[in-house]
Structure 1
Amino acid sequence: MTTPTAPTTPTAPTTGSLRVPGATLHYQVRGDGPLLLLIPGGTGGAAAFDNVIDALAAEYTVAAYDPRGISRSTLDDPEADQQVAEHADDAFRLLQLLSPGEPARVFGTSSGAITALHLLTAHPESVERLVAHEPPVVEVLPDAAEHRAFLATVQETFHAQGLMPAMAVFAAGLQKAGATANGDATPPRAAAEIELPPQAAARAEQTMAGLPYFLGRIVPSFMGYAPDIRLLEELADRLVLAGGQDSHGELPYRPAAYLARQLGVELSHFPGGHTGLTTHPEQFAEHLRKALST
């Protein structure tokens, strides 16, 4: 039985950079113990984990990084297309650097969870346990064709009208998908109803700066990605699929629930919705700690 660790004063992380093909990755490391690699989604980068990293660092050596093209991780070619396999290779190279020869625990959320799923199937020897929180791999769903058409509309709007109209179409489509799946019984909570912690609110400027790259090059390739279900079945004993307690039926939740049924594993429910990491950091960290050690 693990003895609870007394709270400690947070220490400054060790930061570094890693050259990978086509990019330079910025990463930070904190804590002591077995390696836990955190892969963020969206445009938040490593800062998305600011409110949970200290709780996890009491038990793990926690590494978080900015995915290529996000925040401090720069691309050699700013216009380069982005592929899930390439992002997963970045994660693998970080594992080789920080935990050479030893498998690590990995957590990914949203698009970061898609990266993590590919990492698991491409390099299973490097992953001891993976928690994938709401990976929006809509290609696994029976109604994938509808989502393909929706994503095409988002891209058409982006190129014809610009970022904010496209984001409006994107957000409305995610809500519509959730309402349809729920029979309009439990519509998603509006963003205005959620009070964000001060650190999260302060990251809004970075989030906005990264949106053109995210919407234009991450969303199409990542949400068009189809994981290898056969390989995931073989590796299901080290995979935890997670969904938000408040996001039942919403589009990012549905692939996680569907994959869990396909693989014959239980779907783990984490606090909050798709952004529970931000809105419920303390409870989220505790659920993640348990999921990693089960």
Structure 2
Amino acid sequence: MTDKHENLLAAYFSGQATESEKEEIASLLKTDKEFVGRFSEAQKAYVAACIPAFEKTKTEDYGRLEAKLQPRRSFNWALAFGLAAVVFLGAALFTGYKYLDAERFLSQSETTTISSTRGTVTQTQLPDGTRVCLNAGSSITFDRSFGRKGRNVTLDGEGYFEVASDKARLFKVRTGNACVTVKGTVFNVRSYADEPEIAVSLLEGSVLLSAPEGETTLKPGTCGIVSREEGNIRLEKASQSVASWTKGRIHFTDRTIPEILADLHRTYCVDFVYEDGLFGDERFSGSISSNLSIDEILSYLDVDHKFRWTREEDKIEIHKK
């Protein structure tokens, strides 16, 4: 690798490459194997730099999680971006990324996506200092200009946000047909694509919730619910346990068994098979530890001992006894 090539990479990943330099990089990716390898290393450093380290908090639960953090190795010149780490917490603790190939990354690297796969909860901190916790099967995406031209993220799934205060740059979360606008506050957003509603629960501060059919300012303790189909907003009292999933709890209020199984599918990486109408209209409320096994949780739900289930690898079939 020549100094010129290193300078090209530094310019590209810092967002300062000219069009001619981008064309030169594209050409090198097709003809120079050594450059492709170096580009891959630079890519990893860039992705890491977009996900600053999760800071230690003062709460007992976050302190417990912090003690489990594993150090990341990083490439030396990644210091040009700043070092970072992401924690993935599930039944076991692990770290990792899904990397794009060089040419595909070249065309897509204007945005960064942080994902929490099934069976994991991801703690991270954005470049502006905002702390984010992503529930299983969730992701946020932001572009390279985050923190400079604005603070905009797109959420798919469920996320808990502690937004760093910045009156000059509003923080916006776009999800489905809803948008949450804040300056600095604490809130939870649940927005899984397979659910008919988006729920925004405010814990501290104030947020503006916008939808196709109107907007409203939420107050602490309020939950704004947006209908994906109709685009309207209704207000409810926020559950005190709405963010309990960030502390290893599975909480549900007045939910059907199929709705609960959908959460367990994301948390435990298992697929459930059952006949339509098997569970009737029964609804449950409760809070259980995600450290329990899936069998223990199913036994907890089957209070009347009406069902039996069998498991084969990652599939669980449920039948009536």
Band of TM-score, shorter chain: under 0.3
Comparing both structures, which one devotes a greater share of its residues to helix? 1
Task: Please tell me whether Structure 1 or Structure 2 has the larger radius of gyration of its CA atoms.
Answer: 2
The answer to which structure has the higher strand fraction is 2
